[in-house]
Structure 1
Amino acid sequence: MLDWEKGAAGPSYRSSAANTQLVGRQLALVLLNLISIGALPSSIHIIGFSLGAHIAGYAGRALLKRGIRLGRITGLDPASPLFREQFAATSMHSLNNQDAALVDVVHTDGAILWTEGFGLLKAIGHVDFFPNGGQDQPGCERVFASVLVSHLEGTVNSSTVCNHLRGFQLFIESMPKPEPSCLFRAWPCPTRELFRTGNCFPATCDVNSTDGSCGLMGYEADKGLARGPLYLVTRDAPPFCGDQLQATVTLSRAAPLPRGSVTLVLRHGSSSTAFRLHTEWVEAAAQQARQLVLGRRQQVGSGVTYKGLAAAEYGSIPSSLEGLSAKIYFRPGVAASRDRLQLYYVRIATLDGHSWTFCGREKFFESNDQRDMAVASAELSLGFC
């Protein structure tokens, strides 16, 4: 454990960021001493959170100048301010994939605008993990311009850094346990937008595959062969790791395209999992507000299909489960109606290749437990219709 409390204390963030280079070089000297008494560079693994990720990078770079390459560096939501590319003429060097034989990075509070997130959004390692897209994390309150708010208030509270801290929390949860436990499986996706809309969920994600199609986020990231940007979904509270699912819902087109929001609530045993499936109407509003969109409408044949992702409690949906119950809620938008709206198709898929489906025609009725909402129920059976 490297204690750099005095260097991190500031008096300002700029001072703390500047100190990362000096502390990184000091860490390199400590590691040189360890190597001189027999430690193998290939067995050294540095884990750094926020500014600590850049300290790890500076240490790796200092050793490279002496011809020594570290085995692995893990960056947990590396700090963004002053380390962003083209942030300023005096931007500092961030952790990158040249700093160790394996550089794995977890992004949880990235943002396109520097005021919106404490972490880097750009892929900088050999393998970069983007849980929930790498920006807004489930269970965290959305704080507009969180970096700017923190700077102006002169304080950091739990709301403004919730997304940022999640990177550290996810890594701690990924540490090996004596008993079999949940794995943070992740998969490649061409774009972040396709991931958010649930349109690149793999048929299977086998961490033992040799084709690099499935990776492991966290402590055992070196055991996965996948490289590049990888994506996954997590739960909104500890334990964050869960059974990752894709929901597909098709509504009728007997009426004009639904203008409103669609939510699927899946019930399995004593647990339930909610999917937010956004219609085109919600997407337009979300884009105006620069908010995260988790689902997208697709016209398929005579229906309109929505997809979304969520993580259920680990082990709550065994592959032997014969059926699932789902409720699909529709909240009409302005001047919208649920008249003639019908539910045609529902499918829930897992990363292990299992699925449960519903095929039929169910009408939407006024919800008794959700005001201003219409609801349709569906019983899903194991396999395909």
Structure 2
Amino acid sequence: MKALILSGGTGSRLRPLTYTGAKQLIPVANKPILFYAIEAIREAGITEIGMIVGDTGAEIERVVGDGQAFGVKITYIPQEAPLGLAHAVKIAESFIGADDFLMFLGDNLVRDGVRAFSEQFQTSKPNGMILLSRVPNPQRFGVAEIQGGQVTRLIEKPKVPPSDLALVGVYLFDRSIFRAVNEIAPSARGELEITDAIQHLIDHGYRVEAHIIDGWWKDTGKPEDMLEANRMMVENIMPSCDGTVDQHSQVIGRACIASGAVIENSVIRGPVVIGANAVIRNSYIGPFTSISEGVRIEGSELENSIILQDTVIEHIPTRIDSSLIGKNVHISKVIERPKALTFVLGDNSRAEVQ
């Protein structure tokens, strides 16, 4: 069995962060989202991975490499434009060959992994299998209707959902999916939809089954989803301290402090992840915060946030909460008068002032 990870999306809902980087490389608990997908696939016993990439392909290849660091082999498959998930399957046919394969959307997190999903597929041997999760708001998702253990219908964001079973973004297929992706037509938005391809299988007598997960999962397509994913992953960290914490500081609860990090005259209340060579001085870092490498925070308070590498936050009088802050950002208080707010914000930024 092989795997296919889709990492070609533009990440429009995460702009402006994704103007300068791949959304799949935004860190959750200081680890790129994409790494969790690769690790889940490897833990399921799959070591040959095709990576669908788009405009950010060079960056993804630079960060991920050939897969050796993860114990897998990665082949990069360029997608000329974001033409749909089924189009990604279509262009991967030569890589997949005659093998069954697992398809994983690169910005999804599945806390309990996909080993059980893969094993059920190999035991049952259907033509396709979809991963589903019960959700309280199915009208926001693609939803599956099931009868007798088999999937009979897929509906995208239905106003009146036939079930509470949402598509998670992980699929398993045999070679029959290639016939489907080559026979369906583009949707109204001009893309080849994977839900249409799966429905094509069902309508032509192929067997599509479901695997329902009990654990947590998250599509990290929006900032609030990213922060929720970070909360869930930081909750499970193992405490460690390879950095320096001075005698005037307190570390309360679980914290993972990386090598070279310096904590001075500050309170760290976990769960918190602090990256290599970060500096925290005269500050408070509250629960569910991930601070990337090289960040400097002085005279400020923050919690429930993700701060990307080499950012500086200094002397902010109000606590920063529920924030996603990119790389090389500088946030500071201006002491000189007259007082004024000064912003340099990219397209689709959002700033809130009280």
| TM-score, length of structure 1 as denominator length | 0.22
